[in-house]
Amino acid sequence: MIAIGNLVVGGAGKTPLALWMADFLRAKGFSPAIVSRGYGGSVQTPREATLASDPGEVGDEPVVLARRSGCPVWIGPDRLQAIAALRKRHPECNVVILDDGLQHYRLRRDLEIAIVDARGFGNGWLLPAGPLREPPSRLRSVDAVIAHGTEAVKGYAMRLEGEALHRMTDARERRALKSFAGERVHALAGIGDPERFFAALRRHGIDVLPHPFPDHHPYREGDLEFGDALPVIMTEKDAVKCKRFAKPQHWVLPVHAVVEAAFGEWLLHKLGERKAR
């Protein structure tokens, strides 16, 4: 089992990393699966998340994971039960990727991977005085650190890239991100660090009207009404919750993780060691 997590409350790129890892391992002959708590969902028993799942039931990130990973994705507030249900339904799976599982100490893990993004460690204080789930010293005990867009920590470098958007009312209609350069748009993000999304759009010369929302925000139709017909660009995580009231001016920007090659080599080496034992 591979536990992916971070020390700061909120997203740091765990879901893109889990997707990258699922793709990488499958290409190397493994049969991976992903397990998530399903934060923001309402289900209380283990369930497989699929393309057709309601994000209000299973959570927003599991729907994205199911749509993009090509491997089984199971959710449940009790992840021990979720893993047991997964293994019963999919005995062929030989690697479990635990999304946001660094602090889930009930589960024995073979590898721990911590992500640190540009926010660093905030004021350095633990909750509720600061943003930290655990102290920075926790990084000394993990197996690997992923440095997401930051050089403040020593780790394997990762960045997120997205080049093309698709229209929410018709995913077959695509538009290059660079084609929005010089255009004014509404940008909507309910993720751990919304400013990261807005900054990525601005780097492409887009005139951004930012609309940050809390992480895992339960969108209502009025949240996407801005009194004009300007394009609205949102993250894939937000889009799965806004699909039911999508309009032609609503666009989605999927992103993917780019991780330095040395991390993949390290991961294969570590999994080979575990298998040998």
pLDDT mean for each 10 residues of the chain (277 residues): 91 91 96 90 90 89 92 93 95 95 88 93 90 93 94 92 95 95 96 91 97 92 95 95 94 96 96 72
CB atoms within 10 A of CB 149: 19
176 φ, ψ (degrees, to nearest 5): -65, 140
Q: Is 82 exposed, middle or buried (0-12, 13-18, 19+ CB in 10 A)?
A: buried
Q: Given the DSSP bridges, would you call strands 2-6 and 111-117 parallel, antiparallel or unpaired?
A: parallel
Other CB atoms within 10 A of residue 135 CB = 12
pLDDT at residue number 257? 96
pLDDT at 3: 96
CB 76 within 8 A of CB 47: yes
Q: What pLDDT was estimated at residue 275?
A: 66
